[in-house]
Amino acid sequence: MRIHIATDHAGLEFSTQLQHHLAAQGHDVVDHGPVEYDPLDDYPAFCIRAAQAVVRDQAAGVETLGVVFGGSGNGEQIAANKVRGVRAALVWNLATAELAREHNDANVIAIGARQHTFDEAVSFIDRFIATPFSGEERHARRIAQLAAYETDGTLAPDPRA
């Protein structure tokens, strides 16, 4: 599987270790993050490029996921979710990693590199990669609603109306 990753300065050391870990598992790792430490660099461009690459590869039929991370993971998730076709989930434990794929068919996860040990974060990433989307109708229906809104602003009828 191809894994696109991105970070800013907060996750640079983590990124190097993660690339080695994923490559050792046989994944094709593409790094969109910085090449050197700069405490003033900004995560949006790195994370958006990784998210764009995930969408582009998936559209081409390449089995692909993305991982973005920084200090908290929050800004990185927000940045990735600006890309049409991305469903990025903030992950903080094994259950959220699994549910991101199983229920939401997330194609990108965000992790706070300063919030977890390397081993914890890797366990979340490995679980995310290993978990398939359930394909259950209720989950597929909800994802389709998100895609419709993202594409043309369509919302399901308001049940309170």
Catalytic residues: 76, 103
The answer to whether the beta carbons of residues 37 and 14 sit under 8 Å apart is no
Question: What secondary structure does DSSP assign to 72-140, as a single string?
Answer: SSHHHHHHHTTSTT--EEE--SHHHHHHHHHTT--SEEEEETTTS-HHHHHHHHHHHHHPPP---HHHH
Q: Are 74 and 10 in contact (CB under 8 A)?
A: no
CA R_g for the chain: 16
Q: For residues 54 and 128, what is the distance between their CA atoms, to the nearest angstrom?
A: 15
In degrees and rounded to multiples of 5, residue 146 shows phi and psi of -65, -45
- Give the amino acid at 28: D
| Cα separation values, 46 from 53, 75, 160, Å | 11, 12, 41
